[in-house]
Amino acid sequence: MSETILITGGAGFIGRAVGNELLARGNRVRVLDSLIEQVHGVVDGSKMLDGEIELIRGDVRDGDAVTRALKGVDSVVHLAAEVGVGQSMYEVERYTSTNDVGTAVLFEKLIDHPVRRVVTASSMSIYGEGLYRDADGALVEDAERHGLRDGLANWEPVDAQDRPLSPVPTPEWKRPNLSSIYALNKYVQERTTHIMAAPYGMEGVCLRLFNVYGPGQALSNPYTGVLAIFASRLLNGQQPMIFEDGEQRRDFVHVSDVARAFADALVLPQAKGGTFNIGSGRDRSVSEVATELAKAMGKNDLTPIIVGKARVGDIRHCFCDTRLSAERLDFQARADFGEGLAELAEWVAQQTAHDRVDQMRAELEAKGLVA
């Protein structure tokens, strides 16, 4: 089925991959993107995308721009968002305006220009802490950490009896635990999609993305994915900086797998109305990932700096339960992590990146967001 598909935020890292995947499947692709400097740098937007992709430069909060972008469109992939847990905790108006109001404007315009299906990008961040199991074998959805602001290196969540909890893969049924403004924003985008789609004859789907990596990440944006931040440091001859003790565990999924998930979510009948995790199903410690990336980039001497402090809004462990997406989207990550890191390293070697991690840390500390 060939369609004309609008991708909001389609000039970003994930959006470009989704656009190329949709083109390869025979679709026509239009992008609405404001091309903000923090993400894209100073760019010529016309050179960022495949020549077959139509670019409309505009803000998702601009109703006129959204109306123009929706003309003749069959389906929408909604990626437009400010991204960054830490920055969202002090750029509150900016994040809430772009993410929540931008989504509201999009769906308000969709009332007059309904499409077949809208697939919205959500985030693992809405879970807060992932799912855990206690010493008695019971599942724990609302794990909390204590002592982070008391000068204690008590990184791991414990139960009411101070017994350690064991992290397990986090499924979609886990209740949200919104520990940052960004997480709140992404949950609002999810709920807006599901609330608004059906009453106006549309189908809504949400994909909760885990840690996406691959060539094309915004290396100069210190609030983006952790692998891009590490790569920028390494490229500039600096050691990766890791908060806490580096043993926090995450799920890293290649952007090519994510692009395929979006393309499938647009067309599979059984995806209608669903919310799905998109991850690799494999968890890794952040320190392990930093070390492996340094090795792939030939920077073995640049061992990670363990900060030993936590950022407000960060969580300890969260990794992906992939069973529902396998069942309903037939999704399984294909990219090998080692090969993906080698590909990322090769791409990074050809880039120029401004390392702004120290600036980011200073901003967080100045606002009391590092404990």
Q: Are strands 249-254 and 166-167 parallel, antiparallel or unpaired?
A: unpaired
Cα–Cα distance for residue pair 79/238, rounded to 1 Å: 31
The tokens of 357 are what?
Answer: 């991690």
Q: Which pLDDT score, from 0 to 100, does residue 26 have?
A: 97
Domains of the chain as residue ranges with CATH: 4-366 (3.40.50.720)
42, 231, 323 from 109: Cα distances, Å: 30, 39, 35
Residue by residue, DSSP assigns 251-299 as EEEEHHHHHHHHHHHTT-GGGTT-EEEES-S-EEEHHHHHHHHHHHTT-
Q: ∠ at Cα 116 (115, 118), nearest 5°?
A: 75
The tokens of 71 are what?
Answer: 């003309």
At 365 the three-state DSSP class reads: helix
Q: SS in 3 state form for 28-87?
A: EEEEEECCCHHHHCCCCHHHCCCCCCEEEECCCCCHHHHHHHHCCCCEEEECCCCCCHHH
State yes or no: is 182 an active-site residue: yes
* Mean pLDDT for the chain overall: 89
Q: Which pLDDT score, from 0 to 100, does residue 42 have?
A: 44
Do residues 110 and 75 touch, judged by C-beta distance below 8 A?
A: no
> Burial code of 265-296, b = ≥16 C-beta within 10 A, e = fewer?
bbebeebeebbbbbbbbebbbbbebbbbbbeb
Which of 66, 47, 68, 2 has its CA nearest to residue 29?
A: 2
Point out the catalytic residue in the list 127, 182, 187, 213.
182
At 100 the three-state DSSP class reads: helix
Low-confidence ranges of the chain (pLDDT < 70): 37-48, 146-153, 220-224, 313, 353-371
Q: Which pLDDT score, from 0 to 100, does residue 221 have?
A: 63
H-run or E-run covering 139:
strand 139-140
Q: pTM of the entire structure?
A: 0.91
